[in-house]
Amino acid sequence: MREYLIRLIHCFMLGYSVDFGVIYAIMATQSGENALDKRVGYLVCTLLLEKDHELCIMMINTLQKDLKSQNELDQCAALNAICYLRHPEIADNVFDLVIKAATEVPKQAVRKKAVAALYFLYEAYGLSEEHVMPTLRQALNDPDQSVVFTALAVWKNILQTRAIEFVDLLPQFYTIHRYILDTKVHKSFAYHGVLAPWAQLDCISIYESYARHEIGSDKDMFDIVMSCLKSVEKKVDAAFAIVLECTKLLGMIDPLSITAFSEEEEGIFDYLNPFLQSRNHNLRYLGLLGLSYLDSSLWKPDWLNGTLLGTIILEAADNDTIVQKALELLDRVMSLDTLKKISPSLLEALSRASNKSNLAYWFIGSLNNYHIDPDKWYIDTLMQVMKHAGEQLDEDFVAI
């Protein structure tokens, strides 16, 4: 039966109607010879049983039986299925069993899936918070780290719109994050040298939710962000995501507060330089994106005077995405002196670029905005722009 169900999935992926096979999938969940048969049966059910499908009722007894089972594989299969099956009678009949699985089952794999299933039931059916929230709070104190990290992902979603209601949880999130930064989690959670990167990203997203409502101490957030940045220094992959999210959070803190906190530490934003100066376009764009999150009052001198951005545009002249992002950042610090300083780099970039129009339009617009009285430099620069990009500019624009 399992082999036929797998073929049924293949036919479903090809776009064929396979509703006739739903009943066999349900039978596999009820009478499968082993855990693998049950898992395949549940998988087919989650794919084919649409919201409020009448056959979902036939799954209720199976879900209850598997949730009460002593076999953790059966319990996990049922909890996974709950997150995809949508029928109001399912929620009424499995809610208590999911609560019990999240709090009383000794296997951590079951508890973390139960936390995810509980959140799904809460979101999908608008269940009462009376039992849901205490259980989700308890999950943050679970003795197993994997359950705690699952709870972090759940709370990240909840706090996006309800951070004001759970101010008391902020210190607990700090404690969990510090636990990771102090390398107290098991090494199996490490990814390319970064401990529990997904949990750290969830923590930072949670801080952002609180910061949007001006909840919590700026100093506490600044300190934990700087510790987080130091922990991922010279690391790769997931570390890049953490760097970007940390920068985004720093951009949400009052610039005056950051200036005051960083008096003892010089160059706190130097970590962006390797990205901005990288030859890899992806890393360079990450640096530009990080720079866009920061208030210009926090920028380093070579960022403010436009020289670095001009160099980036020159070196990435054929990458429209990077050029456009750099131009957006230049607009924040542009002045006549800056324009004169970077114009050689921009003209050279125009000569190298294959798509010259965006840069040319921006260049001409800046010349007109910041150079009120046309002089020799203005005319010479404008002629150079027309020389390099005139053929790609709109004829009506050139005529004007």
Predicted confidence (pLDDT) per residue in 83-129, tens digit? 999 888 888 899 999 999 999 999 999 999 999 999 999 999 888 88
Strands of 98-232 (E only): list them. 190-191, 194-195
Give the β-pairing of 190-191 and 194-195. antiparallel
Going from the C-alpha of 353 to that of each of 113, 300, 306, 323, 328, the distances in angstroms are: 52, 28, 20, 10, 18
Token pair of 329, please?
């950042």
Q: Which of 147, 148, 157 is nearest to 124 (CA)?
A: 157
Q: Please, which contacts does 100-108 make with residues 24 or more away whose CB atoms are closer than 8 Å?
A: 100/67, 101/67, 101/75, 102/135, 102/138, 102/139, 103/135, 103/138, 105/72, 105/75, 107/72, 107/75, 108/142, 108/144, 108/146, 108/147
Predicted confidence (pLDDT) per residue in 49-94, tens digit? 888 888 888 899 999 999 999 999 999 999 999 999 988 888 889 9
Q: How far apart are CA 121 and CA 129, in angstroms?
A: 11
Predicted confidence (pLDDT) per residue in 227-272, tens digit? 999 999 989 999 999 999 999 999 999 999 998 888 766 778 999 9
**CA-based max dimension of the chain:** 87
Q: How far apart are CA 179 and CA 200, in angstroms?
A: 10
Q: How far apart are CA 63 and CA 78, in angstroms?
A: 6
Q: How far apart are CA 127 and CA 361, in angstroms?
A: 55
CB 192 within 8 A of CB 237: yes
Q: Which of 277, 174, 293 is nearest to 243 (CA)?
A: 293
- Confidence (pLDDT) at 397: 56
**Domain spans in the chain, listed from the N-terminal domain onward:** 1-140, 154-268, 289-399
Q: pTM for this one? A: 0.89
Q: Which of 331, 282, 270, 283 is nearest to 306 (CA)?
A: 331
User: Which secondary structure element, helix H or strand E, spans residue 65, and what is its range?
Assistant: helix 60-68
Q: Classify residue 385 as exposed, middle or buried by CB count within 10 Å of its CB (0-12, 13-18, 19+).
A: buried
In sequence order, the 6+-apart residues with CB closer than 8 A to the CB of 198 are 149, 153, 238
Q: Does domain 1-140 have CATH number 3.10.20.340?
A: no
Q: How far apart are CA 63 and CA 121, in angstroms?
A: 14
Q: How far apart are CA 34 and CA 202, in angstroms?
A: 36
Give yes or no for residue 198 having a pLDDT over 90.
yes
- Confidence (pLDDT) at 331: 93
Token pair of 193, please?
């040298």
Rounded to a whole number of angstroms, the CA Rg of the chain reads: 28
Predicted confidence (pLDDT) per residue in 296-341, tens digit? 999 999 899 999 999 999 999 999 999 999 999 999 999 989 999 9
In sequence order, the 6+-apart residues with CB closer than 8 A to the CB of 398 are 386, 390
∠ CA 179-264-208, nearest 5°, is 45
Q: How far apart are CA 282 and CA 324, in angstroms?
A: 14
Predicted confidence (pLDDT) per residue in 151-184, tens digit? 999 999 999 999 999 999 999 999 999 999 999 9
Q: Classify residue 197 as exposed, middle or buried by CB count within 10 Å of its CB (0-12, 13-18, 19+).
A: buried
Q: How far apart are CA 86 and CA 320, in angstroms?
A: 44
- Confidence (pLDDT) at 310: 94
Q: How far apart are CA 31 and CA 16, in angstroms?
A: 26
In sequence order, the 6+-apart residues with CB closer than 8 A to the CB of 324 are 358
Going from the C-alpha of 305 to that of each of 274, 302, 308, 344, 367, the distances in angstroms are: 18, 5, 8, 14, 17
In angstroms, how far is CA 389 from the centroid of its own chain? 38
User: Residue 216 — left, alpha, or beta (φ > 0 → left; ψ -120 to 50 → alpha)?
Assistant: left
Q: What crossing angle do the helices spanning 108-125 and 72-82 adopt, rounded to 10°?
A: 20
Token pair of 344, please?
């050689």
CB 207 within 8 A of CB 159: no
In sequence order, the 6+-apart residues with CB closer than 8 A to the CB of 279 are 315
Whose tokens are 């330089």? That residue is 273
Token pair of 389, please?
């990009």
